[in-house]
Amino acid sequence: MSAIERRIKELKQEVKTMFSTNDLAEKLALVDDLHRLGIYYHFEDEITEAIRGINDHFHDVGDIRLVALRFRLLRQEGYAVSPGVFSKFKDSEGKFKQELSHDVEGLIQLYEASMLGTNDEPILEEAMDFARGHMERMLGVGEEPHTAQIRRALETPFHRGIRRLEARLYIPVYAKSKACNTILLELAKLDFNHLQSIHQAEIKSFSIWWKELGLMNNLPFSRDRVGECYFWSLGVWFEPRYSTERLFIAKLGNLVTVIDDIYDAFGTIEELQLFTNVFERWDFQDVDGLPEYMRIFLNAFAGVMIEIEEELRKKGTLHHKHYIIELFKLLVRAYFQEAVWTDTRYKPTFEEYLNVSLMSFAYPMVISVSLCLMAEDLSKDTLDWLLTVPKIVKASSVVCRLMDDLVSSKFEQQRKHIDSSVEIYIKEEGITEQEAITKLNEMIENGWKDINKEWLNSLPSRKHLNLLALKFTRVVEVIYKHEDSYTNPEGQMKENIELLLVRPIED
């Protein structure tokens, strides 16, 4: 054990003693800080127990900050706490009291809490609009660190943020706050840098594997996205115990990017029919009639499938393999359907488009395959359920597909692609581009609310899938927020990769 690891162990023991407090505000702040600083994974049992106590022994308080924070933390853990707790903060006209507009921390917590609302909770919609309006007015006139916290909450609410990235951005802000706990701060810095060294070793190994695979030499038309795919998987799993799953999903991400480019940018419809048939047969040796570049790719793909099979065998879950295969078949069928539409110049309806494009975004495959890789054993009922595209997976895919379309449609049209949801909706509804964008953004928000609803209704046997769907959606929320930073990674994507994988946190 290194000196850093010994110090981390010592600090963890000190933090565990902090859970003994009976003060509600202190306990809420502790749990929140552990999450925001990215060190919560060390204290999962303690947090579970603390949240149970907060739920069972909560006394009515008039502090909007505490009420909102408790609401968010409980919902974050799957407790279906009622939004009625915010009614007390309304005036006789049913509006949120104006006196709240001067409480900076209260507004931030109210806004963050509203992000965990579902489609049947209008009071949280009102809370969101009220808090956001006053927070926006405070920008430029407030003081640090409040201004930085407001700006970050408006840009990416914590519920929708990638946990590793949120920790990297929050640690410097926390260091300047009056409430900074030096023990938590030291642990957060040491832990982040320690994990970063682990992640650096992983991406180095991943990069060597990809280079030795040699696909980019033989398929120069495809996007090369090593750093971006690793960032994607790191956004879902950053903990050391998930190293194997992280690397497998990064590998599959790169391979799926190549498949996407084969269907979208290079293959003829005749070649793509043969290519799809190989997946339908799941026989990567039977490649007669395929061009050389497809044969090269399928050989590489088959190699990764063998690796996955070995991993499943080691875990005693080899029966998951059949479902992984079927999930990949669903993906390539969607790709081929889009290719046929493009080739025949067919104009799908918005409903037809969504039914296929939700699958072609690959999230129904990648979320469910991730579960098959990480789960110790899944029942046949659960595995069969995965093939139906569960509601939370569909909601995640709606958010992701529409966010992608809103920032990528112009690029896709350069690649001889079918119309995106934006173009289809404009033509189908007879509305302007801005009206279509507004409507699609509403659908994205409804998708998030569906995710929140499923999260609260999750059975224990389905909690892992729901958590994966939530985490994968967070990654897309960051990658496609303002631009397609996967296709064009030189901007925000490059900055985020540097923050997580290049630049350590300085003392």
pLDDT band at 450 (very low <50, low <70, confident <90, very high): very high
pLDDT band at 415 (very low <50, low <70, confident <90, very high): low
254-284 pLDDT, tens digit each: 999 999 999 998 999 999 999 999 999 999 9
| Secondary structure, 3-state, 264-331 | HHHCCHHHHHHHHHHHHHCCCCCCCCCCHHHHHHHHHHHHHHHHHHHHHHHHCCCCHHHHHHHHHHHH
Instruction: Find the length of the chain.
Output: 507
pLDDT band at 409 (very low <50, low <70, confident <90, very high): low
What pLDDT was estimated at residue 103? 93
Amino acid at 263: Y
Q: Does 370 score more than 80 pLDDT?
A: yes
CA distance 113 to 75: 9
Query: Rounded to 10 degrees, what is the CA torsion of 37, 67, 76, 396?
Result: -110
pLDDT band at 410 (very low <50, low <70, confident <90, very high): low
Whole-number CA gyration radius for the chain: 24
What pLDDT was estimated at residue 56? 83
Q: Does 236 score more than 90 pLDDT?
A: yes
Is the bond preceding residue 145 a cis peptide, omega within 30 degrees? yes
- Lowest-confidence pick of 61-65, 163-167, 410-414, 439-443: 410-414
Percent of the chain at pLDDT exceeding 70: 97
CATH topology for 193-501 is: Farnesyl Diphosphate Synthase (1.10.600)
Its pTM stands at 0.94
Structure token pair of residue 164: 């590793």
Q: Does 413 score more than 70 pLDDT?
A: no
State the DSSP string of 437-491: HHHHHHHHHHHHHHHHHHHHT--GGGHHHHHHHHHHHHHHHHHTSSS-TTTSTTT
In the chain, where the domains are located: 10-187, 193-501
125-171 pLDDT, tens digit each: 999 999 999 999 998 776 776 888 899 999 999 999 999 999 999 99
CATH topology for 10-187 is: Glycosyltransferase (1.50.10)
Q: Give 497's contacts (C-beta < 8 A, 6+ positions apart).
A: 227, 228, 231, 489
Q: Does 394 score more than 70 pLDDT?
A: yes
User: To which H or E segment does residue 338 belong?
Assistant: helix 320-344
Q: Does 182 score more than 80 pLDDT?
A: yes
**C-beta neighbour count of 82 within 10 angstroms:** 10
User: How far, CA to CA in Å, does 303 sit from each of 36, 82, 213, 323?
Assistant: 39, 50, 10, 18
